[in-house]
Amino acid sequence: MVKRRIIVGVWKDKLMPTEALKQANELVSMYKGKNLLFDACIAPSPVALSAVNSITSNSSISTVAQDVHWPDPKRSFIGSTSIPMLKEIGIKMCMVGHSERRGYFGETDEDIYKKLSALIDADIFPILAIGDDVEVVSERKEILTRQLMGALKPDSEKPIDISKIAIAYEPVWAISTWRSDAPLPIGTEVTEMMALVDSILTETCKLNTSSTPLLYGGSVAPKNAEDYFSQSNVDGALVGGASLTVESLSTVFNIAQQIWGD
Interface with ligand PGA (CB under 6 A): 10, 170, 175-176, 217-220, 238-242
- Beta carbon of residue 41, minimum distance to ligand PGA (angstroms, whole number): 12
CA gap 113, 70 in Å, rounded = 9
Q: How far apart are the C-alpha atoms of 228 and 50, rounded to whole Å?
A: 31
Complex with ligand PGA: residue 201 or 242, whichever CB lies closer:
242
Q: Which is nearer to ligand PGA, 10 or 94 (CB)?
A: 10
Catalytic residue among 98, 100, 135, 142: 98
Burial class of residue 174, CB neighbours in 10 A (0-12, 13-18, 19+): buried
Nearer to ligand PGA, 20 or 207 (CB): 20
CB of 168 to ligand PGA, least distance (A): 7
| H-type alpha helices, 122-233 | 137-152, 188-199, 225-229
98 is catalytic: yes
**Is residue 27 a contact partner of residue 55, using CB atoms and an 8 Å limit?**
no
Please state the closest distance from residue 8 (CB atom) to ligand PGA, in A.
8
Q: How far is the CB of 218 from ligand PGA (least distance, A)?
A: 5
* Complex with ligand PGA: residue 7 or 48, whichever CB lies closer: 7
Distance separating alpha carbons of residues 160 and 169, to the nearest angstrom: 17
Phi and psi, residue 237, nearest 5°: -155, 155
Q: Which residue is nearest to ligand PGA (CB)?
A: 240
Query: Residues 170, 189, 192, 203: which is the catalytic one?
Result: 170
DSSP letter for each residue of 6-24:
EEEEE-TTTS-HHHHHHHH
88 catalytic per annotation: no
Shortest distance in whole angstroms from residue 104 CB to ligand PGA? 12
Alpha-carbon distance of 125 to 30, in angstroms, equals 25
Contact predicate 104/83, CB 8 Å: no
Quick one: 182 or 206, whose CB is closer to ligand PGA? 182
What amino acid positions are annotated as catalytic residues? 98, 170
